Structure 1
Amino acid sequence: MTEHVRLADLTTLGVGGPAEHLVTATTQRDLVDLASAAWDDPDGWLVLGGGSNLLVGDEPVPGTVIRVATKGIEELPGARSGTVRLRVQAGEVWDDLVAHTVSAGWSGLEALSGIPGLAGAAPVQNIGAYGQELGGVLTAIEFLAEGELAPVRMPAAELELGYRSSVLKHGHRGVVVSIELELHDTAGEQAVLGEALGAPVAYAQLANALGVQLGDRVSISAVRETVLALRRSKGMVLDPADPDTASAGSFFTNPIVDEHIARTLPSDAPRWYLEPDAAPEVIALGSTTATPLDEFRAYQASMTAVESREDAGSPVLVKVSAAWLIEHAGIRRGFALPGSRAAISSKHTLALTNRGGASAAELVQLARFVQARVQAEYGIRLVPEPVWVGIEED
């Protein structure tokens, strides 16, 4: 056990007070034993993975901080034809796992390349990017619930996975010990085509960057390389030489609102109807790949579907772009409050960055300023994506 370790040195935002007690688990047995002991700490406990989704306050962090550093990727027996089943220890670096699966010719994670953090944190947020979500390939987790002495297997169906959400994030306290995945084994395609093809490309920006149409299939290695390039262009791949990457990635989730609220936004505000039959043309209004005629037809089709659902008394939910809301509320890339060392990324308005020596208080002040501007302009309150520790949320 080590004492008074600065969590600022263990988080990607580079802020956080000292941990009173920090323990590191390097094996699954260690993790279970250390977590079981932490349940009895009267000052509480905190699980620390890659530190990429945490905003830790400046004051000392009481209790026990359990740092997860377990390793291991193993193939499991009993895979269905054309698939491979994996068990991944919680401490595996997420992008190393993705690189491993792409190298092996296993499809299902390639669009999740470059996401920081560890495998054990992935189901908590149900991480997703560029048309893929972990929930599409996750089959189960091993979970050690608070107060218990042994982990249990929880099928993915019990996790209530949603957009950047799960029961692990909202109520189920404990430690993810490992995750189980089912990926597509492209060995047969490789033998015929010489390359491993991924699932149909489902995200317009990715399709545009690849030079293909939505629904086309391309090699998983090309998807990985292109996603990494896209993320680097937004400062979303960790790089000590790039101050824009001293962040927690996207700081706010894209709001999900009632369709009536979405209608109050300007017509160029990107939006995605969450009910499949509410938007038969999968077009994000304002997309760089859609023509004006495409957008007009998609909008007409969406409105027809929306009206029919409204007549039936069914609510229609729409996801809108947090980045668009921030930018159009007058907050530009690189913006900082006077005298603050926290700033909006110079590459992407969704990322709050530590420009060097920022405090957690400065990042919180900036986040609340952004929330206030967007709410004043559009009546929509942005919800932070990182977990706040030692900070009171409004």
Structure 2
Amino acid sequence: MPEVTPRPLAELTTLRVGGIPRRLIEVTSRDEAIDVLRDTWNSGEDVLVLGGGSNLFVGDDDLELTVVRLRNEGIAVVGSPTPGVVRVRVEAGHEWDAFVAWTVQAGLAGVEALSGIPGTVGAAPVQNIGAYGQEVVQTLHEVELIDAATGDVTTEPAASLGLGFRTSVLKAHYGSVAERDAVILSATFDLRAVGTEPVAVAGEQLRQALQLADDALISLAEIRDTVLATRASKGMVLNPDDPDTYSAGSFFQNAVVPESFVRTLPSECPRWLMPGVAEVADRVIGLDEYDGVLQPVIHTERLFKVSNAWLIESVGVKRGFRFPGSRAGLSTKHALALTNRGGARAEELAELARYIRGRVHSEYGLLMEPEPILVGVEI
């Protein structure tokens, strides 16, 4: 078994906090991952599967659990039944941004707007990562899973994962457990073969982010460069020389709320209509159909995503905010990122998160939910 000397998870997470696990196992192949996961699950150990550590907030105390770190890498082109589409299978431990860079160089479109997002390919569907109008759900074809209860390995379509806004059946949201306890071993994507020359940009949100006209042409490489520069300006690209990047990305997930709640917020608060909400039309019932019973009318409210960053700053918690003497603070570039300014303990970050969460809840009645997975720490 590829067991190594346990190290503090502060060395393996982008927030740079976390105690020492009881055991640390690093796997470098699919078969190794299967054997190790089956063994550890069968032994009854508490297991934490770790990818890039970019969506994880771990407490400072030593951890009575086994950490299995997935480092299996590799990209393979497999056959696609659709003309103009290239199907690509990627190992779970492959760095996400390295995969995106590979697709851009190969002239394959579909994930270029997700450049610069830290973490691994195996973690991307769990969170259904997205940016600038692109989400994993748009290109993911299938995943290979190993089930924690049975140890069975199956290949399942993306539709079985319940992919939604920053969620899936595999994600354990704060205060809950995942609907399905399984680990992704590999992910397969369907990408459009567009080449490396300038092409029209699919997706209105991406065109708006890039400030492009509807008929503008731009190469995948230019899109990637622009996205990387934009993310870097917000401290969202890992940089060892920039404490603003010692974070878990956006700490609080932008809330999706019904229209009735949106009306209670200040008009200045940015909001975006979420797609896919069915419109309910009135129905006229003819006399020949009427049986004396009228079914209740179900009204479906439209849903909106609102800007938690705006809400945070509007209650007076500005970028760069921190308590006197604390080594944790908001990013100086982005109000949604809680950052480790150097040597912060997990409790300092948790204290800041609780304060921000409480201020927004008190002012607007919205209880913001943390986006990263919390282990051994509460907010």
Q: 1:62: which partner in 2? A: 64
Aligned to 1:256: 256
Q: Name 2:232's counterpart in structure 1.
A: 232
Kindly provide the amino acid, as one letter, of the partner of residue 145 in structure 1: D
- Within the candidate set 355, 359, 363, 1:377 is matched to 363
Counterparts of 2:353 and 2:55, CA distance in 1: 15
Superposition deviation, residue 200 in structure 1: 3.5
Q: Where has structure 1 moved over 6 Å in runs of 4 or more?
A: 305-308
Task: State the TM-score, normalizing by the size of structure 1.
Answer: 0.86
> Partner of 2:210: helix, strand, or coil?
helix
The equivalent of 1:53 in structure 2 is: 55
Matched with 1:333 is 319
Cα displacement (A) at 1:168? 0.6
User: Are 1:41 and 1:63, in contact at CA under 8 Å, matched by a contact in 2?
Assistant: no
Cα distance change of structure 1 residues 323 and 204 upon mapping to structure 2, 3 Å threshold: farther
After alignment, is 143-152 or 53-62 more displaced? 143-152
* Residue in 2 that maps onto 1:20: 22
CA contact (8 A) 1:52 1:248 kept: yes
Deviations 1:241-297 (A, max 9, x none): 11100001111111111111101111111101124689xxxxxxxxxxxxxxxxxxx
Contact 1:32-1:150 within 8 A present in 2 as well:
no
| Aligned partner of residue 123 in structure 2, secondary structure | helix
CA distance in 2, matches of 1:216, 1:384: 37
Deviation per CA, 1:100-133, whole angstroms, max 9, x where unpaired? 0000000000000000000000000000001100
Q: Cα distance, 1:196 vs. partner?
A: 5.0
After TM superposition, list the pairs within 5 Å mapping 1:74-153 onto structure 2.
74-153=76-155
Which residue type is aligned with residue 23 of structure 2? H
* Structure-2 change in CA distance of 1:167 and 1:377 (3 Å): same
Among all aligned residue pairs of Structure 1 and Structure 2, give the percentage whose two residues are the same amino acid. 48
2: CA distance, partners of 1:215 / 1:350:
33
Deviations 1:117-176 (A, max 9, x none): 000000000000011000000011000010333410111010000000000112211211
What amino acid is the match of 1:254?
N
1:206 maps to which of 209, 213, 222: 209
CA gap of 1:374–1:307, structure 2 versus 1, over 3 A, is farther
> SS of the residue aligned with 1:5?
coil
The verdict on how the C-alpha distance between 1:331 and 1:197 changes in structure 2, with shifts beyond 3 A counting, is same
How many angstroms apart in 2 are the aligned matches of 1:11 and 1:155?
30
1:247 aligned partner? 247
Corresponding residue for residue 267 of structure 1: 267
Q: Which moved more, 1:99-108 or 1:316-325?
A: 316-325
Q: In 2, Cα distance between the equivalents of 1:330 and 1:233? A: 22
TM-score, normalized by length of structure 2?
0.90
Residue-by-residue CA offset, 1:274-330 (whole Å, 9 max, x unaligned): 24689xxxxxxxxxxxxxxxxxxxxxxxxxx9999xx97222211100111111011
Q: Which is helix-richer, 1 or 2?
A: 1
- 1:202–1:214 Cα contact (<8 Å) kept: no
Q: Partner amino acid for 1:185?
A: A
**Which residue number corresponds to residue 182 of structure 1?**
190
Task: Decide whether the 8 Å contact of 2:277 with 2:302 is kept in 1.
Answer: no
- Taking the aligned partners of 1:18 and 1:385, their CA distance within structure 2 comes to 23
Q: State how many pairs are aligned.
A: 357
Moved more, 40-49 or 117-126: 40-49
In structure 2, C-alpha distance between the alignment counterparts of 1:346 and 1:35, rounded to whole Å? 40
Provide the secondary structure at the position in 2 that maps to 1:46: strand
After the TM superposition, which residues 288-367 of structure 1 pair with which residues of structure 2 at under 5 Å, given as runs?
Answer: 313-367=299-353
- One-letter amino acid matched to 1:77: G
CA deviation string 1:158-202 (max 9, x = no partner): 000000000011221121100010000114xx6xxx445542342
| Gap regions ≥5 residues in structure 1 | 279-304
For the Cα contact (< 8 Å) 2:308–2:336, is it kept in 1? yes
- 2:92 and 2:187 in contact (8 A); partners too: yes
- Give the letter aligned to residue 203 of structure 2: P
Give the deviation of 1:207 after TM superposition. Answer: 2.7
Please tell me the residue identity of whatever aligns with 1:262.
Answer: V
**Aligned Cα root-mean-square deviation (Å):** 2.0
Q: 1:335 corresponds to which letter in structure 2?
A: F
Deviates more, 1:89-98 or 1:217-226: 217-226
Give the Cα separation in 2 of the matches to 1:201 and 1:171. 33
**Distance in 2 between residues matched to 1:41 and 1:352, nearest whole Å:** 36
Give the superposition deviation at 1:37: 0.8
Counterpart Cα distance in 2 of 1:352 and 1:366: 8
Give the whole-Å Cα distance in 2 for the aligned partners of 1:312 and 1:173: 34
